[in-house]
Structure 1
Amino acid sequence: MRLWQQVVVSVVVIGAGVAVWGRMSPGAAGTLRAAGLPDTVVAVLAPAQPATEAGQAQSGNQRRGGGPALVVTRPVGSAVINDRLNAIGNGEAIRSVTVTPSATGNLTEILVKSGDVVKTGQVIAKLDSEDQTIAARQARVALDSAREKVERYRKNASAFAVQDLRDAETTLQGAELTLQAAELDLKRRDITAPTGGIVGIITVNVGDYVTTSSPIANIDDRSEILVDYWVPERFATKITVGQPVTAQAVAQPGNPLSGVVHAVDNRIDQTSRTLRVRARIDNADDRLRAGMSFSVTMAFDGDRYPTVDPLSVQWSGDGSFVWRVAGEKSERVPVKIVQRNPDKVLVEASLADGDPVVTEGVQRLRDGGAVSVAGQTRGDGAAPPAGADKTAKAEGAR
């Protein structure tokens, strides 16, 4: 191609480029006039744009850095965690004993049946006691004889030696001890209830030979129920004796029960990292039974944290952060995520309730940069440009 042809093609290409630039760029007219071109040429190369197109061009100019960054914000909220504890526990009677005999022998009587209410010291069964009865009678006869002998020696002290009187008194003391031992052996033939309560199923029968390790019956005092449950170790310092609890028997839904913490263990289980706690629940109406499972609930003051929208949390090499709007300026605030939920994120940060945090339009933000919140009037009294909401959302989507 000859030189003049190359020059012509270059001029045409440059002219076409200037024409396209003049029609697409909102500030092209001013630039052409500053270059010294007459208004007639400027009108051809950069014709005036309609009002709507100018607004869109202005909005696009702001997106490219020509004005404040358009953002959508959402106020900071707050939420409380660790304010409630739910656990499953096992119930036991406040006093429960397995009755065993104090001696060996054959059962001759069983004086109670399953479900009977007994008092402390009440006889519930008897062992054969013929030998013990005879021994007690013999001891009583020996005691009476020794007592008469001592009285006779004392009345006629001059007729007997002092040593004889002392021997008689020693014999009397021995007879008294022998009688006490015989009566104790006889008393042990009666099997008594060591505590009051309700008798369980009796597993022995009259005529059975029992020993001191043979269970006769179980007696439960279930006027109150003790519920043992385990809590995570983070609650160890928050639980004290007397603290109120709410419980519900799993077998009796819809019947909430009130109680208090009865005892707290003195150590954390190293295997499960839990602490054993025992609650006491009143059972005056006798609706509860030992061995039931209970759902236990405890309330605490809890820990309050700021909450932000999940879209507002950003990440960098230094960790997570959010953008807060303060005085029409963007401010980067480091955050530490405590708990993430589908609708909000609990964070540990220097945020106050109601602080506006950017959720959309975060790409153009810098620390201390100017921002314009979509849907709000700017500080100079001017409303945000047309299409601001859509622009911020589009930037957030990118």
Structure 2
Amino acid sequence: MSQLLNKRMLLMLFGCLLLFGGIFAFKYFGRVMMNRAFDTMPLPPATVTSAVAEVQTWQESLIAVGTMRAVNGVEITTEAQGVVSAIHFKSGQTVDRGQLLAELAAGPEKAQLQVLQAELRLARRNHDRIKALHARGVTTEADLDNTRSALEQVLASLEVQRATVDRRRISAPFSGVLGIRRIDLGQNVSPGEAVVSLQQLDPIYVDFSLPERHFASVALDLPVTLVTDAFPDNKYSGRITAIDPRVDSASRNFLAQATLKNPKKELGPGMYADVAVQIDAHRKVLVIPRTALLFAPYGNAVFVLQKGEEGDGFIASKRFVKTGEERGDLVEILQGLRAGEVVASSGLLKLRNEGAVIINNENQPPASADPHPENN
């Protein structure tokens, strides 16, 4: 009896194993077939814009890093020691040449000036009296010389005292824009102590260095363009006005200077600038829009669009390229493309190699070597 029960139990377990094994095998087979179907399922075509790789003529330019410098820029300092009695300017104010900025207390100096003026009046009367007497032959030549000498000494002392009083008045040496005030009323200042900075901002200089191999290519009056981090959407233009004849023996670079108009006072001394010098040379370059480049750590690539085998669509083929100089919205292609080939200029993240695409150029991205955004 027990043997019969054992056989039935074994048969039941065997049947359960067959049943569940069949279920698992069916599910595994279905999953494999589903994945295979997804792998072979064709993806819908991606919609992109296109651009043609074309040859352009670019004027050669020399790229450098420049620093803005004021035509005139100084730290206005005191010439005498004393207490600040008056301040006639505000921080950031625009001032004219000779405008009074501050005064130091000058009570004793002005009193001494009045004493000398009184001595001058007395010395002049004495001299005029002796001169009249000498004309009538009453006094000697020595008496006339003594009064003339006394008068000249008082005049000299008076000029020295006036200069002493003027040294206690601080004026702007040229027209420009003031910086932040560094003195206060009642402050006791020493000679050479900074009062405020003064910068003449229009026009303004940009100093930059170039390698010595370009020394023969750079000349006075060559056009220069620059861009700053402070105003990245603005492009400023100027011309080279000075070239240092000396080449630095350590860096093998030479210094050049350009002058730019700065009516809005946007550019300031010490600003960093990317400088481009337009030299008298041109070259042929193969260019595409910068938006057509797919940047990657292992190399830049583009998607070349070619007609499909059936002739009713385009296929995107990924191709690695070597890039060169960038200008505006365009980038130079050194290797990997030929003139006339069509590349995808937008929607690159939707593309895959040998994938189908649809070209729609209704809204193409900008592609200019010298862009002018509308907000400029």
- Structure 2 match to 1:143: 120
Q: Do residues 85 (structure 1) and 29 (structure 2) align?
A: no
Q: Do residues 202 (structure 1) and 181 (structure 2) align?
A: yes
Aligned partners of 1:285 and 1:305: how far apart in 2? 37
Match of 2:78, SS? coil
Q: Do residues 181 (structure 1) and 152 (structure 2) align?
A: no
- Structure 2 match to 1:95: 72
**Could you tell me which amino acid in structure 2 is paired with residue 342 of structure 1?**
Q
The share of aligned pairs that are identical, in percent, is 27
- Structure 1 match to 2:144: 165
**Contact preservation (8 Å) 1:83, 1:299:** yes
Match of 2:225, SS? strand
**Could you tell me which amino acid in structure 2 is paired with residue 92 of structure 1?**
R
**Could you tell me which amino acid in structure 1 is paired with residue 110 of structure 2?**
T
Cα deviation for residue 287 of structure 1 reads 2.0
- Structure 2 match to 1:269: 248
Q: Do residues 241 (structure 1) and 234 (structure 2) align?
A: no
Match of 1:216, SS? strand
Match of 1:121, SS? coil
Cα deviation for residue 79 of structure 1 reads 9.6
Q: Do residues 342 (structure 1) and 335 (structure 2) align?
A: yes
Query: CA RMSD of the aligned region, Å?
Result: 2.6
Aligned partners of 2:99 and 2:253: how far apart in 1? 41
Q: 1:323-342 CA deviation, whole Å, 9 max, x = no partner?
A: xxxxxxxxxxxxxxxxx942
- Structure 1 match to 2:294: none
Aligned partners of 2:190 and 2:251: how far apart in 1? 40
Cα deviation for residue 130 of structure 1 reads 1.0
Q: Which has the higher helix share?
A: 1
Q: 1:261-309 CA deviation, whole Å, 9 max, x = no partner?
A: 12111222222222211111100122222222111112223476999xx
- Structure 1 match to 2:171: 192
**Could you tell me which amino acid in structure 2 is paired with residue 252 of structure 1?**
F
Aligned partners of 2:144 and 2:188: how far apart in 1? 47
Aligned partners of 2:233 and 2:89: how far apart in 1? 35
Aligned partners of 1:153 and 1:269: how far apart in 2? 69
Match of 1:270, SS? coil
Where in structure 2 are the equivalents of 1:281-292 lying within 5 Å? 281-292=260-271
Cα deviation for residue 343 of structure 1 reads 3.9
**Contact preservation (8 Å) 1:250, 1:293:** yes
Aligned partners of 1:151 and 1:159: how far apart in 2? 14
Aligned partners of 1:221 and 1:304: how far apart in 2? 39
Aligned partners of 1:140 and 1:260: how far apart in 2? 55
Cα deviation for residue 134 of structure 1 reads 1.2
Aligned partners of 1:100 and 1:292: how far apart in 2? 24
Q: Do residues 215 (structure 1) and 194 (structure 2) align?
A: yes
Aligned partners of 1:81 and 1:274: how far apart in 2? 25
Aligned partners of 2:80 and 2:285: how far apart in 1? 70
- Structure 2 match to 1:134: 111
Q: Greater CA deviation, 135-144 or 102-111?
A: 102-111
With the length of structure 2 as denominator, give the TM-score of the two structures: 0.58
With the length of structure 1 as denominator, give the TM-score of the two structures: 0.55
Aligned partners of 1:260 and 1:294: how far apart in 2? 15
Where in structure 2 are the equivalents of 1:1-398 lying within 5 Å? 83-157=60-134, 158-302=137-281, 341-343=334-336
Aligned residues: 237
| Structure 2: segments with no counterpart, 5+ residues | 1-54, 287-332, 338-376
**Contact preservation (8 Å) 1:80, 1:302:** no
Aligned partners of 2:227 and 2:283: how far apart in 1? 28
Cα deviation for residue 145 of structure 1 reads 0.4
Cα deviation for residue 238 of structure 1 reads 1.1
Match of 2:72, SS? strand
Larger radius of gyration: 1
Aligned partners of 2:166 and 2:230: how far apart in 1? 43
Q: 1:89-137 CA deviation, whole Å, 9 max, x = no partner?
A: 1112211111112222121111101111111111101111011101111
Match of 1:224, SS? strand
